[in-house]
Amino acid sequence: MATNPKGSNSERLTHPLLEHLGPIGAATENLFGYSAKIVCGRQSEQGCCCPAGTRPGVYATEVNIQNLNLVVAPVVKFVLPLINSGAVVAREPDIADPTTLARRQVEIIKIPPLGATMDDCCRIAQMLLGATPNGDTALTIAILTIVSQFELSVSTVYTATPLNGDGISIDVEYVPPRLLRLRGQG
Q: Residue-wise pLDDT tens for the chain (186 aa)?
A: 344 444 444 444 455 666 666 655 555 667 999 999 999 999 987 665 566 778 889 999 999 999 999 999 999 999 999 999 989 999 889 999 988 899 999 999 999 999 999 999 999 999 999 988 888 889 999 999 999 999 999 999 999 999 988 999 999 999 999 998 766 544
The predicted pLDDT at position 165 comes to: 86
In a domain, 63, yes or no: yes
The predicted pLDDT at position 30 comes to: 78
Q: Outline where the chain has alpha helix (H).
A: 121-129
In a domain, 166, yes or no: yes
Number of domain units in the chain: 1
In a domain, 59, yes or no: yes
CB 89, CB 143: distance < 8 Å: no
The predicted pLDDT at position 6 comes to: 45
Residue type, 77: K
Bridge partners of 73? 111
In a domain, 7, yes or no: no
CA distance 146 to 8: 26
CB 133, CB 125: distance < 8 Å: yes
In a domain, 184, yes or no: no
CA distance 146 to 17: 11
CA distance 51 to 135: 22
pLDDT tens digits, 88-126: 999 889 999 988 899 999 999 999 999 999 999 999 999
Burial of 76 (0-12, 13-18, 19+ CB in 10 A): buried
Degrees, nearest 5: CA angle 43-158-93: 55
In a domain, 134, yes or no: yes
Sign of CA dihedral 123, 53, 165, 171: negative
CA distance 120 to 16: 25
The boundaries of the domain holding residue 123 are 30-45+53-177
In a domain, 5, yes or no: no
Reported pTM: 0.83
